[in-house]
Structure 1
Amino acid sequence: MSKAFEAIDRLKSEWDTLQPLALENERRLWQKLRLEWNYHSNHIEGNTLTYGETALLLLHGQTHGDHSIREYEEMKAHDMGIEHLRFLAADRARLIGETDIRDLNRIILKEPFWKPTRTTEGQPTRSKVFPGEYKTLPNSVITATGELFEYARPIDVPARMQAVVEWLATSLGERSLHLLQIAAKLHHDFVLIHPFDDGNGRVSRMLVNYLLLREGYPPLIVPTGEKNSYLTSLRLADAGDLGPLSEFLGTQLERSLKLAIKAAKGESIEEPSDVEKQVALFVRGEQARKKELGLPTGEVLGQLAETSFYPFIAELERKLDGLKPLFSKCNVVTENLRGARAFGAGVSRQEIEFQIPGGQILMSFRFLGYRGESSTPFDHTSVVGIHFPPGKYTITQDGNVLVSKPYTEPILNEEIDQITARILAKIFGVIRGKASPRE
Structure 2
Amino acid sequence: MKLPRMVQVKQRFAGPAVEHIAREVWEQLARAGIDEAVTPGMRIALTAGSRGIANIAEIIKATAAKLKSLGAEPFIIPAMGSHGGATAEGQVKVLASLGVTEAYCEAPILSSMEVVQIGRTERDIPVYIDRHASEGDGIILIGRIKVHTDFKSPIGIESGIMKMAAIGLGKHEQALALHNYGIQGIRDFMPEVSRVVFEKANILCGIGIVENAYEQTAVIEAIPTPRIEERERELLKLSASLMPKLPVQQLDVLHVDRIGKNYSGTGMDTNIIGRMRILGVDEPASPNIKYVIAGDLSDECQGNALGIGLADLTTKRLFEKIDYHKTNENVITSTFLHRAMIPIILDNDLEAMRTALRCCWGVNPEQARIIRIANTLHLEHMYVSESLIPEIEALDHVKVVGDLEEMKFDGNGVFI
- TM-score, with normalisation over the residues of structure 1? 0.22
- TM-score, with normalisation over the residues of structure 2? 0.23
Q: Name the larger-Rg structure.
A: 1
Q: Which has the higher contact order (CA 8 A, sep 6+)?
A: 2
